[in-house]
Structure 1
Amino acid sequence: AETDDQATASERPPVRRLLPSAPETAPDTGGTTTAPSRPAIGTPAASLTDRNPGNSARLPSIGGGADTAIAEESALNVNVSGLPPLQRFAAPVDSDPDLPKMSIVMIDDGTGPLGPDTLEGFPFPVTFAIDPAIPGAAARMASYRASGYEVAALVNLPVAAQPTDVEQILGGAVAAVPEAVALIEAPGGGLQAERSVTEQASRFAADSGHGLVFLPNGLNTAQAIAQREAVPAISILRDFDGDGQDARTKRRFLDGGAFRARQDGAVVMLGRLTPDTLSALVLWSLQDRASSVAMVPISTLLLDTSN
C-alpha cells in the first residue's frame, strides 16, 4: 500500500528544471581545423594589404608609379649630365657612313632678319654659331635647340689679348650659350693670334669639354696644338660667303667643299644666316654634288677626330 507521502508526491505537477546545456563538441576531423566563416569576437581583422591578391583587394599606393618614373629619369639625367658638352648637346644625325662628311656652320650675330623660327623644314642639319655678346643669346640658343639644331659659341678675342684674358672671355661665352657643343673662332677672332693664346684656349676647352673650330690658317697649327691637349678640334675649309659672293659663287664654293670632302673624308664650311646664303644652300642641296656627301652637324666631325 502506498504511503501518504508517496501518494502526495505522485499527485504533484512535474517541475521542469532549466539548466544550461553543455557546449557542443566539434567533430573530430583528424587534426585539421576549419576557420570560422565569420570573425569571432576578440579576433583582430586582417589588414587590407594582407588579403588574397587574387581577389584584387590590395590597394595601389598613390604616386608609386610616378616615383619610380622620376627615379629612373633622375638616374638618366645624372648619366647624361656626366658627359662633356660636345656629347651632351650634340644633335642626333642619321647619315650614310660610307659617304664623306660635310658640315655647315652658320654665324648668327643677331643682325639679320632670319632666326630660329624661319628654319622649319631645312633640308639638312646645320650648326649655328651664336655670338654670345648679342642680347638674348640664350633665348636664341633655346629656340634652335627646340627645333633640333645644335649650337656653338662664337669666340672673338680682342686685339693683343693676353693668355690670362682668354679663360675669362671663353668662360663668358660658355655662360652666355650654355648648350654649345664647341667654341668657334669668329672671323678675325684672334684664337690663333699667338701660340700662347691658342694653348690657353686649348687648355680651357680640355677642362670644359667643348670642341674647338678654327679658321683656315696655313698649316692649321692651332688645330694640332689643340689635339695635343686631347681636345677635339678641326679647321674650317672655306668661308664661302664672307666677301659678298653672289648665289652662283656660293654654290660653286659648296661644290668645291664636297669635292674636297671626297678627298679628305670631312670638311667644314662657314657661312652666315642671311636670306641669300640660306637660299643658296637650299638650291645647292638639290644638286647632284650635294648627294655625294653626308651633311652632318659639326659635333659629328669633332667626335670623329677624338676617336
Structure 2
Amino acid sequence: MRGHLLGFVSGAAVSVVALGASALLSPLRLPPHDMAQEVAARPAQAEAAPAADVAEVGAAPDAALRPDLPQRAADAPATLDAATPMPSAPPVQTAPLPQTAPAPVALPSLPQTSRPIEAYAAPTAPVIGRALAIVMIDDGMMVGGPQAVAALPMPVTIAIDPSRADATDKMNAYRAMGIEVVALLRLEGAGPTAVFAAQHALPQAVAVMDVDSAEIGTGAANALREAGLGLISMGEGTEDLQHAQITAQLPSSASSPIVLAREISGLAASDQDAVFLTRLRPVVIAALRAGTLPTGFVPVSALLRH
C-alpha cells in the first residue's frame, strides 16, 4: 500500500514538472474562440489609433510649455535647407541705348512781344557805322513784287496803302517772303480812328509812313504809341515816338538802272543813317541788283528801334 502511494506521488510530480517545462518552451495558447476575437480586434485598434507624423523620443513635454504647432504640414511656413540650390533668376535684358540723340522737335516761332514794331520786324545783322534803309511803295503797277523784292541782295521795306481792297493780301504775300511792311497813311488832321483803321487792315505793319505831312497831331501820335507802331515821315517826328526821317527820294522813272545805281551810291556816301523812298518799278529792282552798291542796308525797323 505504501509502495503504491509513493509511486502515485512520484508520477504526479513528474507530470507537474513536465507540464511546467512544456509551458516554458511553448507560447501561451488561447482557445480558438478567444484567438479569433483578438485577431479581429487588432485592425480595429490600428484604425482607431491616429498615425503619428513624427516619432517622439522620451517623455512628452508639458502642454503648458509646448508651443502651438500647425495642425498640418501645409500650414507650416516653407523653409529652405542650406544645401538646397537656389533657382537661378532669368537674365536681365536691357535695350541698347541709341548712339545718337534724337533730333529736337522744331517748335513754331512766336513773337517775343506784342508790339508790332518788334514782333513783325524783319531780322537783320548789326551794322557797324551808318545804316541805309530803302522803303518802296507798292502801288500795284508792277506784277510779281514779292518775288522780285525777295530776290534782292539787301533788305527792303514795302509800303502799302491800307485803303486798297487788296491791302491785306499784299501784306500776306510780302510777309510770307520775310519782308516787312509799313502802312502808307496821311496823318495831317487824322485822329486815332485813322491809325487804328490802318492797323486793322495791315495788322503786321511795323510803322506808319506819311510822305505829305510835316507834322502830326497829338491824337495820331498817341494812337501810334498805343498801337505799338513807329513813324516814318519827312519831318523830325515827335518826342517819345520811334521815328525815322526820309532823307532822299529815288526816282522811279530813271532812264537806266546803271544811272540809278550810281545815284544811290552817291547818296550813301554820307556817314549818317539814311532812309531812301522809292516806288516798286523794274528799273529800281534792276538798279538795286547791281553789284556796285555800298553795304550797310537794313530794314527800316532797325532805324526805328535805333
Same fold at TM > 0.5: yes
Q: Distance in 2 between matches of 1:17 and 1:178?
A: 105
Deviation of 1:250 (Å): 2.4
Give, as a single letter, the amino acid of the residue that structure 1 aligns with 2:124.
Answer: V
Match of 1:44 in 2: none
C-alpha deviations, 1:81-116, integer Å up to 9, x for none? Answer: x43111000111124x32421011100112333421
- 1:144-293 to 2 correspondences below 5 Å: 144-157=174-187, 162=189, 165-186=190-211, 189=212, 191-192=213-214, 195=215, 197-215=216-234, 220=235, 222-223=236-237, 226=238, 228=239, 230-241=240-251, 244-247=253-256, 248-260=258-270, 263-264=271-272, 266-283=273-290, 286-287=291-292, 290-291=293-294, 293=295
- 1:23-62 to 2 correspondences below 5 Å: 23-27=74-78
Structure 1 residues 11 and 134, CA gap change in structure 2 (3 angstroms): closer
Q: Distance in 2 between matches of 1:152 and 1:17?
A: 113
C-alpha deviations, 1:281-301, integer Å up to 9, x for none? Answer: 112xx11xx33x311000111
Deviation of 1:120 (Å): 4.1
TM-score by length of structure 1 reads 0.66
Structure 1 residues 236 and 16, CA gap change in structure 2 (3 angstroms): farther
Q: 2:154 aligns to what SS in structure 1?
A: coil
Task: Output the aligned Cα RMSD.
Answer: 3.2
Deviation of 1:24 (Å): 4.4
Q: Which runs of 5+ in 1 are unaligned?
A: 30-53, 57-68
Tell me if 1:93 matches 2:144.
Answer: no
Q: Distance in 2 between matches of 1:130 and 1:17?
A: 115
Structure 1 residues 16 and 278, CA gap change in structure 2 (3 angstroms): farther
Q: Distance in 1 between matches of 2:48 and 2:255?
A: 129
Give, as a single letter, the amino acid of the residue that structure 1 aligns with 2:275.
Answer: V
Q: Distance in 1 between matches of 2:121 and 2:137?
A: 17
| Aligned residues between the structures | 233
Give, as a single letter, the amino acid of the residue that structure 2 aligns with 1:145.
Answer: R
Q: Which runs of 5+ in 2 are unaligned?
A: 1-28, 52-70, 81-92, 96-104
Q: Distance in 2 between matches of 1:89 and 1:8?
A: 115
Tell me if 1:116 matches 2:141.
Answer: no
Deviation of 1:133 (Å): 1.7
Structure 1 residues 10 and 28, CA gap change in structure 2 (3 angstroms): closer
Structure 1 residues 18 and 184, CA gap change in structure 2 (3 angstroms): farther
Q: Distance in 2 between matches of 1:99 and 1:213?
A: 21
Q: 1:94 aligns to what SS in structure 2?
A: coil
Give, as a single letter, the amino acid of the residue that structure 2 aligns with 1:203.
Answer: N
Structure 1 residues 10 and 178, CA gap change in structure 2 (3 angstroms): closer
Match of 1:32 in 2: none
Give, as a single letter, the amino acid of the residue that structure 1 aligns with 2:303.
Answer: L
Matched-pair contact (CA < 8 Å) for 2:152–2:285: no
Larger Rg, first or second structure (1 or 2):
2
C-alpha deviations, 1:15-46, integer Å up to 9, x for none? Answer: 599999542422468xxxxxxxxxxxxxxxxx
Matched-pair contact (CA < 8 Å) for 2:180–2:206: yes
Q: Which moved more, 1:98-107 or 1:84-93?
A: 98-107
Tell me if 1:299 matches 2:306.
Answer: no
Structure 1 residues 24 and 269, CA gap change in structure 2 (3 angstroms): same
Matched-pair contact (CA < 8 Å) for 1:114–1:273: no
C-alpha deviations, 1:89-148, integer Å up to 9, x for none? Answer: 0111124x3242101110011233342133342211100011112221111111111111
Give, as a single letter, the amino acid of the residue that structure 1 aligns with 2:40.
Answer: T
Matched-pair contact (CA < 8 Å) for 1:114–1:275: no
Identity of aligned residues (%): 26
Deviation of 1:6 (Å): 1.2
TM-score by length of structure 2 reads 0.66
> Which structure has more helix as a fraction of its residues?
1
